[in-house]
């Protein structure tokens, strides 16, 4: 179950090892949630935490890898499929960081600024401070810890690809027969789909496609479907997570069109199924598109309405982590 970071308040020693332990634990978990990531600046017993490379390394990792996390403040269903992940700008905003980055301080005036709490003005521009990643000579103050707490807290969900785990996924598609009479051609293409068996010869998760054409004095019609059960493997198991599956629809053929019973929008995320928290390395969703309604019917392709239309879908999986530190910040969602 998620726990909050210890809030920096007057009277607490922010240099206590417990604060650093929380930051390192959050760092470790966020890195494990991204299979392609690692911790470039590991901190072990005996590490000199006054070395700027420790703090600058964590800050750099966050700014590089925030784009591998989902902006959890957005409503994903119906969102344009390219807009779900953080950018550096949106991550800073959601985390509550300054738009210019992490706070820095360079002037130390111990007579007026003991920098024991967040009220100290050491990091303000008036005191020679500014924003960016730590460099040699910067002061390590409580604002460093506070910014890192906020930064890690905003990283809650990751995203991944999935694949079609179902056998017998494909039906129809090729007709290859054309006729001078349109009604005869339509009946031929219609029956090819109806009489075809599902076969294991297609890899995407969902297709609904219909075609009617007139070429060289002859008509031809075809239709096809693909169904599938989305599955994701190799999920890191360092902590529990819940799992959401989405489709990413795109046009199949010349024009986007969707079965009215399955109202997809071109390029918009479409939620299909959610799974409760579990320590699971693999999750399989229910079959999508398991219907035999004829695409020529549902997409309205016929002798009066020729065309080459349909939809096919990629998959997106959202993993919502329940780690130890920073999935809520001071008891609140940022």
Q: What is the mean pLDDT of residues 141-163?
A: 91
Spatial strand order of the sheet with 230-232 comes to 163-164, 230-232, 283-284
Written as six digits, the tokens of 331 are: 């008891």
Written as six digits, the tokens of 267 are: 């390029």
If one counts every other C-beta atom within 10 angstroms of the C-beta of residue 185, the result is: 23
35-49 pLDDT, tens digit each: 766 665 555 555 555
pLDDT band of residue 290 (cuts 50, 70, 90) is: very high
Helix (H, G, I), strand (E, B) or coil at 242: strand
Distance CA 327, CA 324 (A): 8
Whole-model pTM? 0.89
Least Cα distance to 15 among 97, 116, 134, 112 occurs for 116
**Stretch among 72-76, 202-206, 314-318 having the lowest mean pLDDT:** 202-206
Question: How do the domains of the chain map onto residue ranges?
Answer: 17-155, 163-320
Q: What is the mean pLDDT of the chain?
A: 86
∠231-164-269 over CA atoms, to 5°? 75
pLDDT band of residue 158 (cuts 50, 70, 90) is: very high
Phi/psi for 190 (5° steps) reads: -60, -45
Written as six digits, the tokens of 159 are: 């995203």
Contacts of 308 (CB under 8 A, 6+ apart): 211, 212, 213, 253, 254, 255
Output the CA torsion 190→196→201→204 (10° steps).
Answer: 50
By residue count, the chain amounts to 334
Least Cα distance to 41 among 17, 18, 59 occurs for 59
pLDDT band of residue 179 (cuts 50, 70, 90) is: very high
pLDDT band of residue 269 (cuts 50, 70, 90) is: very high
């Amino acid at each position: 179950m998620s726990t909050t970071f210890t809030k920096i308040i007057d009277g607490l020693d922010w240099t206590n090892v417990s604060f650093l332990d929380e930051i390192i634990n959050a760092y470790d978990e966020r890195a494990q949630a991204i299979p392609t990531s690692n911790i470039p600046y590991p901190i072990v017993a005996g590490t000199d935490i006054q070395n700027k490379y420790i703090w600058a390394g964590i800050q750099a990792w966050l700014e590089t890898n925030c784009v591998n996390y989902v902006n959890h403040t957005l409503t994903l269903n119906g969102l344009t499929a390219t807009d779900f992940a953080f950018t550096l700008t949106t991550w800073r905003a959601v985390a509550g960081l300054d738009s210019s980055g992490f706070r820095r301080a360079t002037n130390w005036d111990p007579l007026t600024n003991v920098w024991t709490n967040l009220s100290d003005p050491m990091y303000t521009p008036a005191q020679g401070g500014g924003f960016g990643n730590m460099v040699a000579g910067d002061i390590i103050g409580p604002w460093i810890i506070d910014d890192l707490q906020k930064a890690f807290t905003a990283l809650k969900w990751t995203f991944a690809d999935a694949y079609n785990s179902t056998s017998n996924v494909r039906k129809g598609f090729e007709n290859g027969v054309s006729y001078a009479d349109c009604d005869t051609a339509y009946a031929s293409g219609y029956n090819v789909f109806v009489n075809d068996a599902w076969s294991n010869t297609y890899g995407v998760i969902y297709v609904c496609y219909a075609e009617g054409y007139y070429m060289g004095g002859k008509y031809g019609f075809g239709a096809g479907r693909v169904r599938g059960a989305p599955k994701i493997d190799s999920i890191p198991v360092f902590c529990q997570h819940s799992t959401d599956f989405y489709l990413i629809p795109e046009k199949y053929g010349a024009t986007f069109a969707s079965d009215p019973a399955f109202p997809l929008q071109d390029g918009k995320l479409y939620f299909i199924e959610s799974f409760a928290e579990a320590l699971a390395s693999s999750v399989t969703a229910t079959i999508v598109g398991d219907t035999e309604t004829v695409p020529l019917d549902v997409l309205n392709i016929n002798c009066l309405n020729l065309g080459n239309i349909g939809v096919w879908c990629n998959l997106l999986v959202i993993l919502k982590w329940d780690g130890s530190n920073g999935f809520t910040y001071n008891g609140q969602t940022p």
